[in-house]
Amino acid sequence: MASARVTAKVGARTLSLSNLDKVLWPRDGYTKGALIDYYERVAPYMVPHLRGRPLMLERYPNGIDAPSFFEKQIPKGTPEWVARVTVANPDGRRKEIVYTVCDDAPSLIYLANLAVVTVHAWTSRVPDLAEPDFVLFDLDPGERCPLRTLAKVALALRDALQAIGLPALVKTSGGYGMHVVVPLAPGYSYETAKMFAALLAHRLRDELGAAVTLERTLAKRPQEAVYLDYVQVGEGKTVVAPFSVRARDRAPVSMTLDWSEVETFARKRSGALPADVLAGFNLGNALARLAREGDRWAGRAWKGARLEPAVNRARELWS
């Protein structure tokens, strides 16, 4: 591809795209053009997960080995047709932040042209930003934690949630870990969601012992264990969006999974670290997988749950 600007029609919008031949993944050869093409084609699956959510953008204008930056404030020059939301920011230099919101495919392509490799999204949506629509459990394995242990912790979390009547969905983080989420019915505060996440995290730590750690300080964590992070539940905190690409070798993608796949990981006898397998979902094959398997979080899979019956059931089972 030539490095000159080209014009592309995406839906009702006309976009000017540039530097399509710039290599962003030097060891894999993936270019900015490949990133843009991926995000254009994955948009029907990805945009429903982004719609209405404030975004934090992770940009790599000169590739994954060069300096990068995170961007909360909507980038300068962003067209007016790209959605945005203004949020008060009492703790920073800015009194408020105008976040990008990606409500359609042209917006996603526009961001990809800015070398936004990874899209991080809030766990709530406009207009109810104080109400998360899912509870997030971030499973982050230590450097010596095998895939089998990570999978067994994820399955134990699923089983604990199912025992108290709650659905659980799972995806790869696109890095080393997994994300387990519980879709919520409307009306819950972040404080309530975090208290519930803490309850489950401590229950799992008590049940699984050395396989799980809740230690927040990285240097103090046992590296054979899975750090079960429930602290990421909070207003303004973000999670890597489903189908987002990551700035790592092989250009891994955060992929929604079926629980049967996690069960397969749990049966593995090798000592492979999670990234050795999870990076197999990547820029080169993610679209073929989605065409074959679909989005495991779509449709009836995403059913918002009420927490009160689950908490009452938890008291009966675990008191």
Query: Three-state DSSP class for 103?
Result: coil
Cα–Cα nearest to 50, from 96, 7, 109, 9: 109
Alpha-carbon span 211 to 46, nearest angstrom: 32
* Residue pLDDT tens, the chain, 319 long: 345 789 998 888 999 999 999 999 999 999 999 999 999 999 999 999 999 999 999 999 999 999 999 999 999 999 999 999 999 987 778 899 999 999 999 999 999 999 999 999 999 999 999 999 999 999 999 999 999 999 999 999 999 999 999 999 999 999 999 999 999 999 999 999 999 999 999 999 999 999 999 999 999 999 999 999 999 899 999 999 999 999 999 999 999 999 999 999 999 877 788 888 888 999 999 999 999 999 999 998 999 999 999 999 999 998 7
Cα–Cα nearest to 317, from 207, 213, 211: 207
Alpha-carbon span 67 to 176, nearest angstrom: 22
Beta-carbon count within 10 A of 36 CB? 22
Query: Three-state DSSP class for 125?
Result: coil
Q: What's the token pair of residue 28?
A: 């894999």
Contact 70, 58 (CB under 8 A): yes
Q: What's the token pair of residue 133?
A: 């629509």
Residue length of the chain:
319
CATH of domain 6-122: 3.90.920.10
* CATH fit for domain 134-314, picks 2.40.50.100, 3.90.920.10, 3.40.50.1820, 3.30.1330.40: 3.90.920.10
Alpha-carbon span 33 to 22, nearest angstrom: 8
Cβ contacts of residue 75 below 8 Å, gap of 6+? 57, 100, 114
Write the DSSP assignment of 260-294 as a string of letters: HHHHHHHT--S---HHHHHTTSBTTTHHHHHHHH-
For the chain, give every residue range classified as CATH 3.90.920.10.
6-122, 134-314
